[in-house]
């Protein structure tokens, strides 16, 4: 006869014939019938789960830094901030960054500003200082981790921690599966403790073309096995360097949602204010959405011809030419027509840049007048 769900503890364990002792530990269990299912909470729906670890991987120069800047900007502003496509996030949060890949003042801070981040909500880890000079922060040091947790709990509203590269979180050899697994499990525990998401950035393997999505991520199996979400960035073969999708972001793994889906993106050059002179940097502009599986998206990106990828941009260019050829139009009306035509804001903006469209405030409409878009003179219909 079966026994009801319960926690079973052996009353006594035989140590020697005729002698018994009570055990000093017991097996803790939970019966599935005794608990309710729990919904997943997301920072970025489908991409960054709260209380979990996620990975972003890609080759050098493929845009990992710009993607993390876009994510940080979105989290600092919240909701439908344009630095990130797709569904609305639940709200804003503070972001902690720990990076040894890029200089914070010269690279990361300008990218954040270019992405429209609320800079007062972005916090960089400089190091640990107790007595004497500061030293590098280390996730392998329990006292450092305790300092981080204490800081985050006192700061409040910390929703995301970004670590770049992932090897910073590992005590020892990053190729050691056991060490990576222990480090990543520890990060997951910290994420749950702080009720935040942790995103680690890593590289992909050499000659990744043709490999399965998760096989492209460099490192031992724990790099993709422990995290709940794995994202990949890669170049689109023959993608236009000026407009349209030159790269693509793919959801390679999602243990808490369906894997697959992706977004094309490109880089737009931006100048931000510097201490002595303007600083040239870049930001991500997202384009076409792909609903297919990760395998299908990557196969397309590595084999598609350039003309296949520019079709959405071409449609937006033709739309603006036809809409503005006979004269200027206010932006709200253009956006309304573009929405009806199925043209995204990102694609519309790329077409605007491609056509060198000029913008100015509508005259005589008051303080809150909309911007008016106009084609260059040689593109207009002249009487």
Same domain, 194 and 323: no
Same domain, 235 and 326: no
Q: What are the backbone dihedrals phi and psi of residue 160, each rounded to the nearest 5 degrees, phi first?
A: -150, 135
pLDDT tens for the 383 residues of the chain, in order: 444 444 433 444 444 555 555 556 788 899 999 988 888 888 888 899 999 999 999 998 889 999 999 999 999 987 666 667 766 666 789 999 999 888 999 999 999 999 989 999 999 999 898 777 888 898 888 899 999 999 999 998 999 999 999 999 998 889 999 999 999 999 999 999 999 999 999 999 988 888 999 999 999 999 999 999 999 999 988 665 444 578 999 999 999 888 788 988 888 888 888 888 888 998 888 888 888 999 999 998 888 554 444 567 777 888 888 888 778 888 888 888 888 777 888 888 888 888 888 888 776 655 667 888 888 764 444 44
What is the rounded CA–CA span in Å between residue 112 and residue 41? Answer: 25
pLDDT score of 319: 83
What is the rounded CA–CA span in Å between residue 187 and residue 180? Answer: 10
pLDDT score of 88: 63
Same domain, 292 and 328: no
Same domain, 198 and 333: no
**Global model pTM greater than 0.85:** no
The CATH number that applies at residue 109 is: 3.40.50.300
DSSP 3-state percent helix, strand, coil across the chain (nearest 5): 35, 25, 45
**Quick one: how far is CA 170 from the chain centroid?**
21
Q: What are the backbone dihedrals phi and psi of residue 348, each rounded to the nearest 5 degrees, phi first?
A: -60, -40
Same domain, 234 and 325: no
Q: What SS3 state is found at 14?
A: strand
Residue 217's DSSP bridge partners are: 204
Domain final position from 306, 337, 364? 306
pLDDT score of 234: 93
Question: Please, are residues 74 and 83 in contact by the beta-carbon 8 Å criterion?
Answer: yes
Look up residue 85 and give its DSSP letter: -
**Residue 248 forms part of a structural domain:** yes
The CATH number that applies at residue 322 is: 1.10.10
What is the rounded CA–CA span in Å between residue 21 and residue 140? Answer: 38
Rg of the chain, C-alpha, whole Å: 26
**Which residue carries 């995290």 as its tokens?**
227
Domain final position from 283, 306, 329? 306
**Residue 319 forms part of a structural domain:** yes
Same domain, 318 and 297: no
b or e along 108-145 (b: 16 or more beta carbons within 10 Å of the residue's beta carbon)? bbbbbbbbbbbeebbbebeeeeeeeeeeebebeeeebb
Domain final position from 268, 291, 306? 306
Residue 204's DSSP bridge partners are: 217
pLDDT score of 121: 95
- Whole-Å CA distances, 351 to 140, 335, 345, 355: 48, 13, 10, 6
Number of domains forming the structure of the chain: 2
What is the rounded CA–CA span in Å between residue 32 and residue 29? Answer: 10
Name the residue range of residue 371's domain: 311-379
**Residue 216 forms part of a structural domain:** yes
- Whole-Å CA distances, 61 to 26, 58, 65, 203, 233: 51, 8, 9, 10, 10
Same domain, 246 and 352: no
pLDDT score of 58: 94
What is the rounded CA–CA span in Å between residue 283 and residue 270? Answer: 7
What is the rounded CA–CA span in Å between residue 166 and residue 186? Answer: 13
Q: What are the backbone dihedrals phi and psi of residue 298, each rounded to the nearest 5 degrees, phi first?
A: -65, -40
Same domain, 297 and 328: no
**Residue 16 forms part of a structural domain:** no
How many residues appear in the chain? 383
Q: What SS3 state is found at 306?
A: helix
């Amino acid at each position: 006869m079966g026994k009801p769900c319960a926690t079973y503890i052996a009353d006594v364990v035989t140590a020697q014939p005729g002698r018994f002792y009570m055990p000093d530990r017991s097996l803790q269990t939970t019966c599935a019938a005794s608990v309710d299912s729990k919904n997943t909470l997301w920072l970025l729906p489908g991409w960054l789960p709260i209380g979990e670890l996620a990975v972003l991987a890609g080759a050098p120069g493929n845009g990992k830094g710009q993607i993390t800047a876009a994510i940080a900007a979105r989290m600092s502003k919240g909701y439908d901030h344009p630095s990130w496509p797709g569904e609305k996030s639940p709200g804003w949060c503070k972001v902690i960054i720990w990076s040894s890949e890029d200089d914070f003042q010269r690279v990361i801070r300008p990218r954040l500003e270019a992405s429209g981040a609320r800079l007062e909500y972005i916090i960089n880890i400089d190091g640990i200082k107790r007595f004497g000079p500061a030293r590098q922060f280390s996730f392998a040091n329990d006292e450092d981790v305790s300092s981080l947790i204490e800081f985050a709990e006192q700061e409040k509203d910390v929703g995301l921690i970004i670590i770049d590269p992932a090897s910073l979180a590992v005590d020892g050899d990053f190729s050691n599966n056991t060490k990576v697994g222990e480090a990543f499990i520890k990060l997951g525990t910290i994420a749950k403790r702080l009720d935040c998401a942790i995103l680690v950035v890593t590289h992909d393997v050499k000659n990744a073309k043709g490999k399965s999505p998760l096989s492209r991520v460099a490192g031992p199996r724990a790099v993709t096995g422990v995290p709940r979400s794995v994202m990949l960035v890669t170049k689109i073969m023959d993608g236009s360097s000026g407009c349209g999708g030159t790269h693509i972001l793919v959801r390679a793994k999602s243990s808490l949602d369906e894997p697959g889906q992706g977004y094309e993106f490109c880089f737009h050059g931006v100048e931000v204010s510097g201490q002595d002179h303007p600083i040239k940097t870049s930001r991500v502009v997202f384009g076409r959405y792909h609903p297919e599986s990760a395998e299908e998206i990557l196969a397309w990106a590595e084999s598609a011809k350039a003309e296949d990828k520019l079709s959405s941009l071409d449609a937006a260019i033709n739309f603006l030419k036809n809409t503005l050829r006979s004269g200027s139009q206010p932006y709200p009306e253009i956006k309304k027509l573009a929405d009806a035509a199925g043209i995204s804001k990102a694609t519309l903006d790329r077409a605007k840049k491609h056509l060198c469209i000029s913008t100015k405030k509508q005259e005589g409409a008051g303080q809150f007048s909309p911007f008016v878009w106009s084609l260059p003179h040689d593109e207009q219909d002249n009487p």
